[in-house]
């Protein structure tokens, strides 16, 4: 049982939770995730860690409500408990001193796990240019925090309501055109990562993506999270979550992520109906 | 560990035992027929999660106990990895002292109700029974063990084994499966302050996530865990040693020694075309969803596929658990696809028999070589290579070889791959001082001590893939070794 000590709404569907988890706060590194479960009937879902406070013994999670489990978490408030929080899981991000710029791209809630990676690159002495992308202004999150760490921040919105109008790859191309980019880190929806990877591939820029597939245990036991990387089957939970973007079979991953779509939609409808009664 | 022969002999000569033994002539005992386990009707049980074996009645158990000759050199005990005093518990059943029988078992086994259900007794104790040696049916030791444990649990008088005075020394078990639980029980008996760390949110490891309810009800596992709690064992779920904290962190918190019983972990796939399409999963995933997460219950959030034409690949106990689960979740056809023949199948005979009775369709000498998906990426067909048996391999098992050009394609909407597991690299990766073998299992000596002197290991993380009882035997042996090690450090 882990106590929620703070909650902040970023938008109607995105919220930040600060949760007591002293051991995880201490042992987690950039790139790690946790598995959480809400209630005795809850499922186990992975969430990337957006930050931690070792002294207060807390970790920060950012969640977008989509299905039943994220909605259940979204409905919790300060003083409530998350039934289970286990981690930190996965491999930590490899941070190396780069000659050129690190291009850090975040789409939607992908900015949350991107933030600690930006901070770690900055701490390693790298120049970091961040491209934050979302459909519309309200969905750009953690902008101030990113600005504190990145050397420059470019905002992209699909509808042009904030920053520059266009998708993430437009902002990426601008940066690549004007300065030497040594590495790109891209975290966001699978489809966004797919196109970002195609963009950097054109310029031969080493690129890392962080995958968020379906998981059950999160420790390598079940293989639900498997993806094809460089022609080989990899487990996102233990081999990842970060992989070489140019080796990931995004189409296969997108198909697998939609595997339980019908069940998920039906469960959400049932849950909503139960909430209204 | 050696069996204490002198003590055994002395116990065998106790007055009550001699009296029971002499009450019936051996010849008359040997004329008795082995008891038959009552089972729920196959066409009823394959639609529900009710336990298949119903257990013996008191009369049946006492009658079966009469068959045991109370041998002076009991072979059965040498076949038991945890060295239960089998003749003593059986003779206690014969005289009607069932609680005494349960107590006898618990002197060396922390999980009697579990072992009585899932141990391959036909390969362990019962294989060494004097009856087996004289080509007769062995005494039903497994059924009797289960009977004694169930009787005790239902009596509400669950005995806690005698505990040595607390010595205040903190030791840890990593993993709460059969190895870790047995280790914990044995160390608690020796007076140690034991904490069991578990990665999942539930205690019990494979007993909870792997073995289905119809073979081992969770309530029985819970009762055995509660008993350990009463013995002072502490449990920490949601704690991954090597991730949440390392062994060094725990050493700094006062832990003096560790037992790694983290299990086999990573499921193996076959790396054939189409294996990553939707609807294909490992048996670990399928069983975890259903057993641990309760996914077949609509009020649980975790989903699971309800396949109509299910293919399960493999021939082990986990494959049997998977086919039988799929049948219970409403599949019309469940195919067990195994590349060898029935004779080579590693699953327990009882499980194979139960699966056949429940309507599982066995496709022996077939092996998948490709899966075909529909336009949405969901599996729709499996292409199976027809096999035949070739020369025996180094273990004497005849190797399957493909029959050139002969394949069968079957329609399927769900495939469960149950072709074994590899050791989970989580613990060795986080603790490079623990050396691994080429197979990735932890290196351990005969005393089950790893390459780090305060770390012991057992069960599947050392063996690769084995059984519950062998894991328990390791937990017991490691506890004795660790106790010796810690005493030598004083």
Beta-carbon separation of A238 and B426 below 8 A:
yes
Is the distance from CB of A186 to CB of A207 less than 8 angstroms? yes
If one compares B390 and B394, the residue with the highest pLDDT of the two is B390
Q: Is the peptide bond before A257 cis (omega within 30 degrees of 0)?
A: no
Secondary structure in 3-state letters for A138-192: HHCCCHHHHHHHCCEEEEEECCCCCCEECCHHHHHHHHHHHCCEEEEEEECCHHH
Interface membership of A224 toward B (CB under 8 Å): yes
- Residue B84 CA to residue B6 CA, distance in Å, equals 16
**pLDDT confidence of residue B2:** 59
Best mutation target among A222, A234, A262, A272 (most B Cβ atoms within 10 Å) is A222
**pLDDT confidence of residue B122:** 86
Q: Which of B277, B285, B303 is opposite residue A260, by nearest beta carbon? A: B303
Expressed in percent and rounded to 5, the helix, strand and coil fractions of chain A are 35, 35, 35
- Residue A210 bridge partners (DSSP): A242
pLDDT above 60 for B1: no
Q: Is A53 helix (H, G, I), strand (E, B) or coil?
A: strand
Is the distance from CB of B296 to CB of B304 less than 8 angstroms? yes
Beta-carbon separation of B282 and A84 below 8 A:
no
- Residue B457 CA to residue B449 CA, distance in Å, equals 6
Beta-carbon separation of A259 and B289 below 8 A:
no
Token duo for residue B314? 């493999």
**pLDDT confidence of residue A262:** 86
Interface membership of B243 toward A (CB under 8 Å): yes
Is the distance from CB of B11 to CB of B100 less than 8 angstroms? no
Beta-carbon separation of A220 and B245 below 8 A:
no
pLDDT digits 0-9 by tens, A238-274: 999 999 999 999 999 998 888 888 888 888 888 888 8
Report the gap between the CA of A44 and the closest CA in chain B (Å). 8
Mean pLDDT of A101-124: 95
**pLDDT confidence of residue B24:** 95
- Residue B288 bridge partners (DSSP): none
Beta-carbon separation of B201 and A44 below 8 A:
yes
DSSP letter string over A195-252?
HHHHHHHHTT--EEEE-----SSSSSSS-TTEEEETTEEEEHHHH-SEEEGGGB-HHH
CA nearest neighbour of A192 among A105, A96, A103, A95: A105
Mean pLDDT of A95-100: 93
> Is A161 exposed, middle or buried (CB count within 10 Å of its CB: 0-12, 13-18, 19+)?
middle
- Residue B175 CA to residue B173 CA, distance in Å, equals 6
CA nearest neighbour of B49 among B285, B344, B269, B297: B297
Report the gap between the CA of B245 and the closest CA in chain A (Å). 7
**pLDDT confidence of residue B467:** 85
Report the gap between the CA of A211 and the closest CA in chain B (Å). 16
Token duo for residue B274? 């189409």
Interface membership of A222 toward B (CB under 8 Å): yes
Q: For the CA atoms of chain A, what is the radius of gyration?
A: 18
Beta-carbon separation of B277 and A86 below 8 A:
no
Instruction: Give the number of beta-carbon pairs within 8 Å between A and B.
Output: 120
Report the gap between the CA of A36 and the closest CA in chain B (Å). 10
Beta-carbon separation of B301 and A69 below 8 A:
yes
Distances A28 to A51, A52, A90, B128 between C-alpha atoms, Å: 9, 8, 10, 52
Beta-carbon separation of B199 and A219 below 8 A:
yes
- Residue B40 CA to residue B483 CA, distance in Å, equals 44
- B273-B291-B343 Cα angle (round to 5): 60
Max distance between CA atoms of chain A, in angstroms, equals 59
Best mutation target among A26, A89, A92, A223 (most B Cβ atoms within 10 Å) is A223
Beta-carbon separation of B239 and A86 below 8 A:
yes
DSSP state of A92: P
CA nearest neighbour of B109 among B125, B93, B131: B125
CA nearest neighbour of A45 among A194, A224, A228: A224
Mean pLDDT of chain A: 94
Find the closest chain B residue to A215 by CA distance: B285
Secondary structure in 3-state letters for chain B: CCCCHHHHHHHHCCHHHHHHHHHCCHHHHHCCCCCCCCECCHHHHCCCCCCCECCCCHHHHHHHHHHCCCCCCCHHHHCCCCCCCHHHHHHHHHCCCHHHHHHHHHCCCCCHHHHHHHCCHHHCHHHHCHHHHCCCCCCCHHHHHHHHHHHHHHHCCCCCCCCCCCCCCEEEEECCCHHHHHHHHHHHHCCCEEEEECCCCCCCCHHHHCCCCCCCCHHHHHHHHHHHHHCCCEEECCCCECCCECHHHHHHCCEEEEEECCCCCCECCCCCCCCCCECEEEHHHHHHHHHHCCCCCCCCCCCCCCCCEEEEECCCHHHHHHHHHHHHCCCCEEEEEECCCHHHCCCCHHHHHHHHHCCCEEEECEEEEEEEECCCCEEEEEEEEEEEEEEECCCCCEEEEEEEEEEEEEECCEEEECCCECCCCHHHHHCCCCCECCCCCECCCCCCECCCCCEEECCHHHHCCCCHHHHHHHHHHHHHHHHHHHHHHC
- B102-B104-B107 Cα angle (round to 5): 110
pLDDT digits 0-9 by tens, A145-169: 999 999 999 999 999 999 999 999 9
pLDDT band at B483 (very low <50, low <70, confident <90, very high): very high
Is the distance from CB of B154 to CB of B199 less than 8 angstroms? no
- Residue B486 CA to residue B490 CA, distance in Å, equals 7
Mean pLDDT of B12-19: 95
Beta-carbon separation of B266 and A224 below 8 A:
no
Mean pLDDT of B44-61: 90
Is the distance from CB of A35 to CB of A21 less than 8 angstroms? no
- Residue A73 CA to residue B128 CA, distance in Å, equals 55
Mean pLDDT of B439-460: 94
Is the distance from CB of B458 to CB of B484 less than 8 angstroms? no
**pLDDT confidence of residue B334:** 97
Mean pLDDT of B50-55: 90
Is the distance from CB of B240 to CB of B426 less than 8 angstroms? yes
Q: Is A272 helix (H, G, I), strand (E, B) or coil?
A: helix
Counting residues of chain B whose pLDDT is more than 70, the rounded percentage is: 100
Q: Which of A37, A221, A263 is opposite residue B265, by nearest beta carbon? A: A221
What is the value of ipTM here, to two decimals? 0.92
- Residue B174 CA to residue B454 CA, distance in Å, equals 13
Mean pLDDT of B285-292: 95
Dihedrals phi, psi of B190, to nearest 5 degrees = -85, 0
B239 neighbourhood in chain A, CB within 8 Å: 23, 86
Report the gap between the CA of B309 and the closest CA in chain A (Å). 17
Beta-carbon separation of B245 and A27 below 8 A:
yes
A84 neighbourhood in chain B, CB within 8 Å: 201, 237-238
Burial B284-307 (b: 16+ CB within 10 A, else e): bbbbbbbbbbbbbeeebbbbbbeb
Token duo for residue B134? 């004289």
**pLDDT confidence of residue A228:** 94
pLDDT band at A82 (very low <50, low <70, confident <90, very high): very high
Tokens 């990562």 — which residue?
A193
A227 neighbourhood in chain B, CB within 8 Å: 276
Beta-carbon separation of B267 and A223 below 8 A:
yes
Distances A215 to A33, B65, B303 between C-alpha atoms, Å: 12, 48, 12
């Amino acid at each position: 049982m882990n106590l929620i000590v703070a909650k902040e709404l970023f938008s109607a569907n995105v919220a930040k939770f600060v949760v007591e988890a002293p051991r995880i706060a201490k042992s987690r590194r950039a790139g790690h995730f946790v598995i959480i479960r809400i209630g005795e009937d809850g499922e186990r879902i992975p969430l990337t860690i957006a930050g931690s406070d070792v002294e207060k013994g807390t970790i920060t999670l950012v969640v977008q409500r989509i299905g039943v489990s994220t909605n259940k978490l979204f409905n919790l408030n300060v003083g409530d408990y998350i039934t289970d929080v286990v981690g930190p899981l996965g491999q930590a991000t490899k941070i190396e001193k780069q000659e050129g710029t690190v291009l850090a791209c975040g789409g939607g809630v992908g900015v949350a796990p991107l933030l600690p990676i930006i901070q770690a690159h900055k701490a390693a002495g790298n120049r970091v240019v961040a491209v934050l992308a979302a459909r519309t202004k309200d969905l750009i999150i953690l902008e101030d925090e990113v600005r504190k760490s990145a050397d420059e921040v470019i905002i992209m919105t699909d509808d042009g309501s904030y920053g520059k109008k266009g998708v993430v790859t437009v902002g990426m191309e601008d940066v690549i055109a004007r300065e030497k980019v040594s590495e790109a880190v891209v975290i966001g929806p699978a489809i966004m990562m797919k196109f970002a990877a195609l963009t950097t591939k054109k310029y031969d820029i080493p690129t890392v993506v962080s995958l968020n597939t379906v998981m059950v245990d999160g420790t390598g036991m079940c293989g639900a999270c498997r993806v094809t990387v460089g022609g080989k089957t990899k487990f996102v939970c233990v081999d990842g979550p970060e992989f070489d973007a140019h080796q990931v079979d995004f189409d296969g991953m997108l198909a697998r992520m939609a595997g339980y779509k019908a069940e998920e939609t039906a469960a959400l409808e049932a849950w909503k109906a139960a909430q209204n009664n | 560990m050696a069996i204490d022969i002198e003590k055994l002999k002395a116990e065998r000569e106790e007055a009550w035992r001699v009296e029971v033994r002499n009450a019936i002539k051996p010849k008359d005992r040997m004329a008795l027929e082995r008891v038959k386990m009552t089972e729920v009707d196959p066409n009823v049980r394959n639609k529900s999660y009710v336990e298949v074996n119903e257990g013996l009645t008191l009369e049946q158990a006492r009658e079966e106990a009469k068959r045991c000759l109370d041998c002076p050199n009991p072979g059965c005990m040498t076949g038991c990895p945890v060295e239960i005093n089998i003749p003593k518990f059986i003779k206690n059943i014969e005289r009607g002292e069932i609680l005494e029988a349960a107590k006898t078992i618990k002197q060396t086994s922390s999980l009697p109700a579990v072992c009585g259900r899932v141990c391959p007794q036909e390969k362990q104790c019962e294989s060494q029974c004097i009856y087996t040696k004289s080509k007769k049916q062995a005494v039903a030791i497994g059924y009797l063990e289960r009977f004694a444990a169930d009787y005790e649990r239902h009596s509400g008088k669950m005995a806690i084994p005698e505990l040595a005075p607390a010595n205040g020394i903190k030791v840890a078990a990593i993993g709460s499966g059969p190895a870790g639980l047995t280790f914990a029980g044995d160390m608690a008996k020796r007076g140690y302050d034991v904490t069991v760390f578990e990665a999942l949110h539930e205690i019990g490891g494979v007993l909870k996530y792997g073995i289905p309810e119809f073979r081992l009800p969770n309530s029985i596992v819970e009762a055995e865990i509660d008993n350990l709690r009463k013995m002072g064992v502490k449990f920490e779920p949601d704690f991954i040693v090597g991730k949440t904290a390392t062994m060094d962190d725990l050493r700094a918190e006062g832990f003096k020694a560790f037992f790694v019983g983290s299990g086999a972990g990573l499921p193996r796939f076959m790396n054939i075309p189409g294996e990553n399409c939707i609807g294909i999963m490992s048996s670990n995933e399928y069983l975890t969803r259903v057993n641990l997460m309760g996914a077949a219950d609509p009020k649980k959030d975790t989903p699971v596929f309800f396949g109509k034409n299910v293919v399960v690949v493999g021939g082990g106990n986990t494959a049997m658990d998977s086919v039988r689960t799929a049948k219970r979740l409403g599949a019309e056809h469940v195919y067990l696809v195994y590349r060898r023949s029935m004779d080579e199948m590693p699953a327990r005979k009882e499980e194979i028999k139960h699966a056949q009775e429940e309507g599982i369709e066995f496709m022996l000498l077939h092996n998948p070589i490709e899966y075909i998906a529909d336009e949405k990426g969901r599996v729709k067909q499996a292409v199976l290579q027809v096999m035949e048996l070739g020369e025996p391999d180094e273990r004497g098992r005849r190797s399957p070889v493909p029959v050139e050009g002969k394949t069968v394609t079957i329609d399927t909407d769900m495939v469960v791959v149950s072709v074994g597991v590899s050791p989970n690299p989580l613990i060795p990766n986080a603790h490079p001082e623990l050396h691994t073998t080429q197979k990735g299992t932890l290196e351990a000596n005969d005393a089950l001590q790893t390459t780090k002197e305060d770390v012991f290991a057992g069960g599947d993380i050392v063996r690769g893939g084995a059984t519950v009882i062998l894991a328990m035997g390791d937990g017991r042996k490691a506890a004795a070794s660790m106790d010796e090690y810690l005493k030598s450090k004083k």
